[in-house]
Amino acid sequence: MEQAEKELAQELSCGENAAKESQRVVVTVVGQDQIGIIAAVSGVLAQHQVNILDISQTILQEFFTMIMIVDISLATVSLQELQQLLKEKGQEIGMEIRAQHEDIFKYMHRI
């Protein structure tokens, strides 16, 4: 599925169709609960002008899980760059952080 994500990100980052496509991204965060997770993730998003539209988080026993819907239409970085920045932040804080364009989930149901 990572190859499909890369292809979709490339399609969205170039051409006239990029402006017509949705700019919502699903960000997931999973790992051992600790202080500052939401601050770390939201800090990366804010730094790059990514707007948080919705957020849900819970702790399952000692595991922290969070799903965010964000808008990257005004972002100062591409989706691929944001994915890398979040991955690096995740490694820094010991969490798994992924960012996937919402179309990935829409297309999964068409197969």
pLDDT at 18 over 50: no
Residue 4 or residue 63, greater confidence = 63
What local confidence, expressed as pLDDT, does residue 101 receive? Answer: 93
At 49-96, the pLDDT tens digits run 999 999 999 999 989 999 999 999 999 999 999 999 999 999 999 999
Q: Give the distance between the most distant pair of CA atoms in the chain.
A: 46
Q: Residues of the chain with pLDDT > 90: what percent?
A: 70
Note the pTM of the prediction, 2 decimals.
0.77
50: enclosing H helix or E strand: none
Residue 111 or residue 51, greater confidence = 51
Superfamily of domain 2-108: ACT domain (3.30.70.260)
In this structure, are residues 52 and 62 in contact, taking their beta carbons and an 8 Å threshold? no
